[in-house]
Amino acid sequence: MYRYDQFDRSFVAARVAEFRDQVARRLSGELTEDQFKPLRLMNGVYLQLHAYMLRIAIPYGVLSSRQLRKLAHIGRVYDRSSGHFTTRQNLQFNWVRLADIPDILAELAEVEMHAIQTSGNCIRNVTADHFAGAAADETVDPRPYAELLRQWSSLHPEFTFLPRKFKLAVTGAAVDRAAIQVHDIGLEVKRNERGEIGFAVYVGGGQGRTPMIAKKLRDFLPERDLLAYCEAILRVYNLEGRRDNKYKARIKILVHEKGLEEIAASVEAEFAAQPVATAALGEAEIARIAAYFAPPRFAALPARSAVLEDAQTEDAALCRFVSRNVSAHKAPGYGVVTVSLKPIGGIPGDATSDQMDALADIAERWSFDELRVSHAQNIVLPHVRLDDLPQVHAALAAAGLATPNDGLVTDIIACPGLDYCALANARSIPVAQEISQRFADLDRQNAIGELKLKISGCINACGHHHVGHIGILGVDRQGEEFYQITLGGAEGADCAIGELVGPGFAADKITDAVETLVETYLKLRRDPGERFLDAYRRVGLGPFQEALYADA
Amino acid sequence: MAARKIKFDWVAATANDLKGGEAVFRRADGSWTRTVAEAELVPGGEAGAALLARAQADHAANRVVEPVLIAVDPATRRPLSLRERIRADGPTV
Ligand code: HEM
Ligand code: SF4
């Protein structure tokens, strides 16, 4: 993985020192809240309902064991022995004290991590496919490009005061596990017929109040033009993006209002105006960064593992786990393991410090010291030998981390909602917990098959409800929590925004409503291979509305 | 916070503690407490505005952050809104 160079190291150290001084001045009263707030936000410090919250970036979701152990340690010392993984490949500590934050940042810097640009109107943490460098279906490893973008966007002097926040996502596989079409800029790394690397460039996607699917600006941008082209997009946005209305300030609104043609013309003109010699990425620079992401030394193994298959005959739980949570790896004899942070009835995305330590140990021993954080609020062990899966499964089970529900109805994405978030209208976590308990039976979950359920506590859509097969949005109806349901959203290559099914449901009716939707699907699906999303696309809202509102 | 509520209901002043960030409520003696039941309750309107002004002075003095008035049921001394009950009690999960 990428290692800080001297510049990165001294820069982060200087930022920690600077923030330490700012916090001291705030606590002594020298700085007012109005003066301090923008400074703390630049360092990822929010004030939530019950405490300060620190958001730490996990660039493109890649973590080493050492880094995860440090997060476990910080959780133990400064929080309540846990941390919360979010949909943007960040980790949030919900219970930190302002006075401790400089020490936390200093500890993070020891393992080459920070919280810079995790808030504010700047370019946020660059996200990527959590199976990057591992998945069998990957064309090109997106991480070197994500790292180039991270370096380019870190404190880029031109882009520290954008009209609004700006999010980039990169995938190197056509299936798109990075949800690139709901990002401000989405990039798919690919190869042309000549084998050259380039990018499909999407712009203007996003969720929130006004969900939009991104539009494709280029089908194949040459590799060398990556940064220059992104810079051209940012320049156009920085100049033309609206600053008069916070709700219309994202690039998606600009793209929507101007239309694809006009935006494309502006971006291309800006791009053409750049001096090629200085703007283009050199081959040496790309190679230098790519070297950090060289594949680990995979052993030459047969594609099938007799050890695993023997163990599976003995152990049904292992079998379920393997069939559900292990995905195809590019190296024969290896698998990509998804570790669910969605135990039945748990808080989606939460991991205790002990669990983080256990994961770090497992990754060190069995996954080349590497972990990933997924936007689905799960953890990934990217490179596990199939022969080792029985041991890995046992170690995960011992840590309470072997829930075999990847992609199933209980693998719910939920934002913190009204239990923590100052912006929320309704709670998300208890809704997720109740649905999870209702569908706890694994046989039933497997019979239902892939079903992505996503819950947000307000229209900001941190819980990605717009792209849930079933999306749930919490609203405030005259002081009561109410939940609206959307159907048919999807986040991958077949990206779609879910459609509102009808009037919302009270908190004590929402789980029943989800169950009605699921039962309706089971009755109308053609065969078990027709997923909820496929069935919805075939039949539309009608049958679901009838079932939900039959008695209304 | 709807102006209407402040006018007619009983209100307390709440804020977050500067150092720890905890939700805190202003007592009649000017100290801040984690326990909403100990908060000074005044009718909305002028008394509420005066309470808010006192709380804002504590903000200006860097003791608490961003005080606001919240509606509280005088019988139970519990905040009326779910959001404020969660702030007072902690997460429900
Ligand atoms: C490597 C080859 C195998 C594959 C790919 C495989 C795949 C699967 C799959 C897809 C399931 C369904 C998971 C679920 O519905 O929860 C499953 C469950 C199961 N498998 Fe396998 N399986 C394999 C080998 C075996 C063998 C050889 C045995 C035993 C003779 C076995 C015993 C079971 C049992 C008992 C279950 C049910 C688990 C439960 O009810 O909890 N599997 N396996
Ligand atoms: S969706 Fe709303 S409630 Fe949920 S975390 Fe985001 S801002 Fe908070």
The CATH number of residue A64's host domain is 3.90.480.20
pLDDT at residue B7 above 70? no
Whether A419 sits inside 8 A of B91 (CB atoms) is yes
Same domain, yes or no, for A443 and A539? yes
- Look at residue A496 and tell me if it is in a domain: yes
Tokens encoding A290? 């790519």
Residue A300 lies in a domain: no
Residue-level pLDDT at B8: 59
* 3-class secondary-structure state, position A130: coil
DSSP symbols for A196-220: -EEEEEEES-B-TTS-B--EEEEEE
- pLDDT over threshold 60, residue B5: no
Residue of A305, A312, A324, A389 best suited for mutating to test ligand 1, as the one with most atoms within 8 Å of CB: A312
pLDDT at site A552:
62
Return the percentage of chain B with pLDDT > 90, whole number. 88
CATH code, domain with A280: 3.30.413.10
Give the pLDDT confidence of A355-383 residue by residue, as tens digits: 999 999 999 999 999 999 999 999 999 99
- In chain A, the number of structural domains is 4
Domain housing A176 = 142-292
Q: What was the pLDDT predicted at B2?
A: 44
Tell me, yes or no, whether A178 and A288 share the same domain.
yes
Report the range of poorest mean pLDDT among A143-157, A218-232, A313-327, B12-26: A143-157
Give the mean pLDDT of B38-46.
94
Same domain flag for A459 and A530: yes
Last residue of a domain, one of A61, A95, A110: A110
Same domain, A517 and A380: no
Total of domains in chain B: 1
Q: Does the CB atom of residue A405 touch ligand 1 within 6 A?
A: no
Q: For residues A438 and A358, state if they share a domain.
A: no
| Cα–chain center distance at A210 | 19
Q: Looking up tokens 């909820």, which residue turns up?
A: A532
Chain B residue with minimum CA distance to A425: B83
| Whole-number pLDDT of residue A277 | 62
Whether B3 has a pLDDT exceeding 90, the answer reads: no
Cβ atoms within 10 Å of A134's Cβ, excluding its own: 29
Does pLDDT of B18 surpass 70? yes
Q: Per the domain annotation, does A133 fall within a domain?
A: no
Do the strands A185-191 and A197-203 form a parallel or antiparallel pair, or are they unpaired?
antiparallel
Distance A348 CA to ligand 1 centre (A): 27
Considering the domain architecture, whether residues A288 and A314 belong to the same structural domain is answered as no
Q: What band does A121 get if pLDDT is binned at 50, 70 and 90?
A: confident
B86/A386 Cα distance (integer angstroms):
46
CB A192 within 8 A of CB A174: no
Nearest of A469, A538, A462, A535 to residue A497 by alpha carbon: A469
**Does the residue A301 lie in any domain?**
no
pLDDT of A228: 94
Mean pLDDT of A510-522: 98
Residues A265 and A241 in one domain: yes
Report pLDDT for A157: 83
Closest residue to A418, CB basis, from B62, B80, B82: B82
Cβ–Cβ gap A32/B65 under 8 Å: no
Domain range for residue B21? 2-89
Alpha-carbon distances of B82 from A459, B24, B26, B65, B75, rounded to whole Å: 18, 16, 19, 21, 17
- Distance between first and last Cα of chain B: 25
- Alpha carbon separation from A481 to A124, A153, A325, A428 (Å, rounded): 31, 39, 34, 10
Q: How confident is the model at residue A453, as a pLDDT? A: 98
Shortest-distance Cα residue to atom 39 of ligand 1: A316
Chain mean pLDDT for chain A: 95
Going from the Cα of A311 to the center of ligand 2, the distance in angstroms, rounded, reads 43
Same domain, A266 and A311: no
pLDDT tens-digit readout, A462-477: 999 999 999 999 999 9
Rounded to an integer, the average pLDDT of A280-289 is: 92
Question: What pLDDT, in 10s, does the model give residues A243-259?
Answer: 999 889 999 999 999 99
SS (H, E, C) A145-168: HHHHHHHHHCCCHHHCCCCCCECE
In a domain, A383, yes or no: yes
Domain co-membership, A434 together with A492:
yes
What are the backbone angles phi and psi of residue A253, rounded to the nearest 5°? -70, -40
Residues in chain A closer than 8 A to B16 (CB atoms): 47, 51
Q: What is the pTM of this model?
A: 0.93
With a cut of 60, say whether residue A438 has pLDDT above it: yes
B61: exposed, middle or buried (Cβ count in 10 Å: 0-12, 13-18, 19+): exposed
User: B92 and A427 in contact by Cβ < 8 A?
Assistant: yes
Confidence grade of residue A278 (pLDDT, cut at 50, 70, 90): low
A481 vs B61, B66, B82: nearest CB: B82
Return the residue matching tokens 């660039």.
Answer: A59
Q: Are A286 and A324 part of one and the same domain?
A: no
CA–CA–CA angle B81, B87, B92 (5° rounding): 90
